[in-house]
Structure 1
């Protein structure tokens, strides 16, 4: 599985920060097995953090790449369980902090001096990256972080189920709600949006013709169309036509594969598994438009590699990151296309990624190009959590959307003031 949407970075249901702090305590206590001692390579000991990808082979691949690097001993912490950020952020405050870690571009990491400026290593190949990926990692002309994979997220559906129920592919939120009702039977739910519904929260905003923040870093999500969309989501939540307790969450293809639902929100990364399970009985479509002025949307999530600017080995870590994520194109292509599908952020690699060139994968790339929204570096973890609360309070509970959005505005504005003055 691979990427986090901007709306829900963990791909897993929300996990209490306290549990994350406890986990960070265990990480800090790793001591002798954190890779800082011993090792056969020359020079520095470097530690990198990765969240636990769901596809078979990713962990082995990451460790294989690291082993091939000769200028330092690179060990990998493979962080399992919910909410990677609840383990990463506390760990960054300890002496056991990683030298290198994957995450998403967020401006508080830059403002706090947590991540190193990587402009010098990216500049020579900058034009080979998707411009949207460069933009989402740039602050004041400096680039922080190297995009490893782009991960579009959209709806997957069982063609046979829609045909049998005489349901066309939805193009509006109204049609999606109607489809969910017609597709629901005693054994199958019409629709799966994730167990806590947060994976689609940004899409609800984009598809309503709004945005999280505008160009001036001001709130742009609090519109009449978004309020109307939240009311529609509430009606969907109470309809009985949503799958709400799937054994595996939305980032895993199993709900659709096992026939628990007819339509599922998911990521391009899950497509090979779905195709293996369902063959040609698989289609995709973007989040449909919300309201009359809306337009379809796709989340272009993804993961990026950062260097811990507060670590002891900044230069050695930058050298390693350059070696792996700039120089080793064969590893970059392997990472993007051999373990689930991801779009390589570099044009030269994307152009030769034959697995994405035809059929449904090519359709997924097209949806990403036509309707994709990339990370906004100003939209931070605290803001994402504030929006999670809107979904919890007005969709899953019955608070008025206006009241829920007002509460969200206060939290987001507090963050914006801290970050932008």
Structure 2
């Protein structure tokens, strides 16, 4: 089964570099019409990146239509540069009232978002504690998590069984498995075209972290450098799928038989199950250092209120209404358009779709090995580490030199935030 072209619009991780021109927004919003019809004369604008799963845009419009206190306009932003377009808008006089993004401290330091403690406090204990922590800066909560998106390796059970191998438990085993699984038609593993998605999982599985508890560089270790070298060897081995038609977020590389193992997200699990049935398994990014645990990146999306909202109280009321009060919409959003884990514990615990089989295994990996966003790890730091992959894995710069280059950018960013 070939994945829908809508998958090509997903922007799961942050896009690299630069600020797009504000004028591009009008062209990339596929529907700027009103989602509601309150008759109140009041309006709100919300920004969303274009999710790949069919039905998502229609669902958001349907939810917004139920908010009786304002007409809600939805900017559905297609393309790979949602972040740049959002940041450009936040600097302008035409900023959205509410928008989805990831928790990052620079929005707090720049005064671009409002704290939301007043709306989240009554239900704070019902949210995954890690989601609350990842949205907390200076003792205040700045966003409301909508979905959690764990990422891990998916694999074809039959291909591993045919090759006589088990799911890899270490990075070395993953590299060995890729070699054994590669044929003239199938590559052993797909890590994404640009390798951006595995940057932080590699760091965590190497026994390191992005920043330490004092917000100092913690990723630059001998083990991380050594593992970057191993990835370079894999990249040049001929056993890794390179330049696939779609990137890691699209399940088609595995579904179409281009690879035996693919890094992807839980959102794609229903599409993979529909195509592959029971011939599908998952495992975390394997341990890449003695004594280090495997790693799962728990991405996701959160709702923020702009400090430039025309009616700040109304914008906060809308976020509360949809992402705190309307639990039926929250469950629908998490489980009806791909699989995501609801950040509300009460919803996650009652979700039948997540209680058995492969979805339950995904939840287990999420709970056991998951790492959440560090709000101090900003867009500039993310891009610096994406450059590490480009410099020393896709190209041939020495790992230490690539990490040194990243250090300078990260340290500059940390100084700006201090």
Query: TM-score by structure 1 length?
Result: 0.94
Post-superposition shift, 1:291?
A: 2.2
- For residues 202-228 of structure 1, the C-alpha deviation after alignment (integer angstroms, 9 at most, x for no partner) is 011000000001111110000011011
Gaps of 5+ in 2: 4-9
In 2, distance between residues paired with 1:65 and 1:131? Answer: 26
In 2, distance between residues paired with 1:245 and 1:352? Answer: 40
1:42 to 40, 43, 47: 40
In 2, distance between residues paired with 1:58 and 1:30? Answer: 17
In 2, distance between residues paired with 1:89 and 1:26? Answer: 12
Alignment match, 2:12: 11
> Does structure 1 residue 232 correspond to structure 2 residue 233?
no
Post-superposition shift, 1:16?
A: 5.8
Runs of 4+ off more than 4 Å: 12-16, 28-31, 33-40
In 2, distance between residues paired with 1:185 and 1:88? Answer: 43
Post-superposition shift, 1:312?
A: 1.7
In 2, distance between residues paired with 1:310 and 1:303? Answer: 21
In 2, distance between residues paired with 1:177 and 1:231? Answer: 12
In 1, distance between residues paired with 2:194 and 2:15? Answer: 8
In 2, distance between residues paired with 1:369 and 1:381? Answer: 26
C-alpha contact 1:147 1:303 (8 A) present in aligned 2: yes
Gaps of 5+ in 1: 2-8
How many positions carry a matched residue from both structures?
409
In 2, distance between residues paired with 1:107 and 1:254? Answer: 35
> Does structure 1 residue 175 correspond to structure 2 residue 176?
no
Matches within 5 A, 1:123-138: 123-138=121-136
Alignment match, 2:20: 21
Alignment match, 1:107: 105
1:197 to 174, 195, 198: 195
In 1, distance between residues paired with 2:17 and 2:111? Answer: 26
- For residues 318-356 of structure 1, the C-alpha deviation after alignment (integer angstroms, 9 at most, x for no partner) is 010000001000000000111111110011111111000
Post-superposition shift, 1:10?
A: 3.5
In 2, distance between residues paired with 1:270 and 1:49? Answer: 23
In 2, distance between residues paired with 1:273 and 1:30? Answer: 26
In 2, distance between residues paired with 1:34 and 1:302? Answer: 24
In 1, distance between residues paired with 2:316 and 2:250? Answer: 33
- For residues 226-277 of structure 1, the C-alpha deviation after alignment (integer angstroms, 9 at most, x for no partner) is 0111000000111111111111111111110110100000101100100000
What SS does structure 2 have at the residue aligned with 1:121? helix
2:375 to 371, 374, 377: 377
Deviates more, 1:358-367 or 1:290-299: 290-299
Alignment match, 1:51: 49
Alignment match, 2:337: 339
Alignment match, 1:4: none
What SS does structure 2 have at the residue aligned with 1:265? strand
Cα RMSD after superposing both structures: 2.0
Post-superposition shift, 1:37?
A: 12
C-alpha contact 1:35 1:47 (8 A) present in aligned 2: no
In 1, distance between residues paired with 2:340 and 2:385? Answer: 26
Alignment match, 2:148: 150
Query: TM-score by structure 2 length?
Result: 0.94
> Does structure 1 residue 358 correspond to structure 2 residue 356?
yes
Alignment match, 2:402: 404
Post-superposition shift, 1:293?
A: 3.2
In 2, distance between residues paired with 1:30 and 1:386? Answer: 27
